[in-house]
Chain A
Amino acid sequence: MDGPAADGARPPPPRAGSRLCVRCGERKAALKRPKTLEQICRECFYIVFEDEIHQTIVENSLFKAGERVAIGASGGKDSTVLAYVLSELNRHHNYGLDLFLLSVDEGITGYRDDSLETVKRNEIQYGLPLKIVSYKDLYGWTMDDIVKAIGLKNNCTFCGVFRRQALDRGAALLKADKIVTGHNADDIAETVLLNILRGDIARIENGLIWLYHDPGIYSPNAYRGFAREFIKDLERMRPRAILDIIKSGENFRISTTTRMPEQGTCERCGYISSQKLCKACVLLDGLNRGLPKLGIGRTKAGAGADSDGKQRIKRSERNTSSLQGKHGNFDF
């Protein structure tokens, strides 16, 4: 990013007549690359795109030969591209990886059905075995069940927490060494930005995002929409700004007095948690005891008490199921 030519964010002077690819100079340019504004042909775009991903993998030593890698597959464009590129690179450059697709079924009728179809197609197209884990398998509840129990107000909290753990738990169940996700620069930039707005510093190190944050609520707010719009406007004004946000995230000097996240494990299920009980267990507790407000709001996770005693809901008829009893401990 330091050299003036490397980022090439300024468009080359317009040439009269021909619009040839700046890379090969042979084929006609088919698009203007958003990242660099270079005019390149389709073939060269594929090549540079895949090559940049290969460079990222190599420079950060992301994999070791023989590793079993779960590709988080949602059926969306990002994970589809990820599945395709990773299987290509694995073949081309002999990474020696054992790849498979991992999909999460939240159990929302009509929502996941289409995307799961896409993932099943990917399985066939790219020759990658597909494993699907469902919320039902992992937690004993589908999102449809949860919404029936608690309504539409705080369901996003449940789904978010459960999904975050589902990929992890699913991958562990299937004995994966690594998980890859299709988070792109825009997602990471948005994460960095949203965390600043929330009072947290997100620092990026070795391709991982470390969050220095106080235990708190994970709830959607209106500012997410503003942030997304802001990033879109920003990108229009200065395309490299997305990558600049990530660079900032990589260069934040965190004060040593800032509280580092303590990494313990959940007493009940063994998942990584900075509290006695992980977020998912707290929420499940609430569901299973008919206290769906447990874990929602500003009380610390694991505190056990209702944040608002006045809003006790009648017990649900669901059988109590502890995560430990049904699925065994997850050893990490």
Chain B
Amino acid sequence: MVTARAFDTKISALYKAGKIFGGVFLGRGHEAIAAAEGVFLHKGQDVYAPFIREQAGRCAWGDSVLESARAYFGSASGLMRGRDGNVHWGNPAEGTPAPISHLGAGVAVVGGAMLAKRMKGQTGCVGLACVGDGTTSVGAFQEAANMIAVQKLPVVIVISNNQFAYSTPNSQEFACKSLTDRGIGYGYTVHECDGTDFLSTLQTMGQAIASARTGEGPQWVVANTLRMCGHGEHDDSCYIPQELKDAYADRDPLAVASRQLRELGWITEDEDAALAAECAEEVQRCVAQAQKEAPPAPASENWVATSWNPEHEEQ
């Protein structure tokens, strides 16, 4: 969480300095939810489909912020090699599909991966798909959510309800009382938590992931929070009422986590400060490396979109 926040802060500053090519999307307000996802998943066994506000989840899952930095800079050494960028990166070989921009499209992909694992006889694995409140309106999401439930796959769908789909508030996005209602309708076991409350989010997510892992069928988690930034850094979030922002002023997930851990005696103020410094240094190092790496070379780009072609065949 701390690394993710440091990374977001750094990338935002670089964006404002004009050093980033396209958009920048932060996870402010989502860190506890994302971290709770990543921390209960096992790289190499599970499938994790983060979307645009899951930097903390990527860190907890075990991916270096170097890959995130490479994606933003379009480094030729990065997983997407400058062919895609910003938050649209994945490492499918290690269980993180590369997300596309179309909301909800990744949910069926996670379902399909879990279906394949079941066919191959792999047990005890979980697939987790991240979506937002707005995504629950998308047809692709609803088709996938239904199909996963019909197939009784070990999938956890996490809906981070940050109250705004870009600028659209919940009241203009859905008419059901709670997004948990949708999960009940599809036949999921539903969970809900305050996504700004670190310990309670950990508990809820841990339980949902464990249930999916032990064969209790698909799980539906609604984690409530507020997006504590714009949709992207180009967006001043003027549509979020000031009273709402004020109401969340002391609910920043990082501050809450720090407070909770200090109250439990698991961390001291000094250790907390040392952690922040260590994470900031790691971010600094990774961003500097990504910035130094060679960009993709248009002259040597092969412009080939398939692995097979008839010419290769004849050779």
A binds B: no
Q: Which residues of A line the B interface, CB within 8 A?
A: none
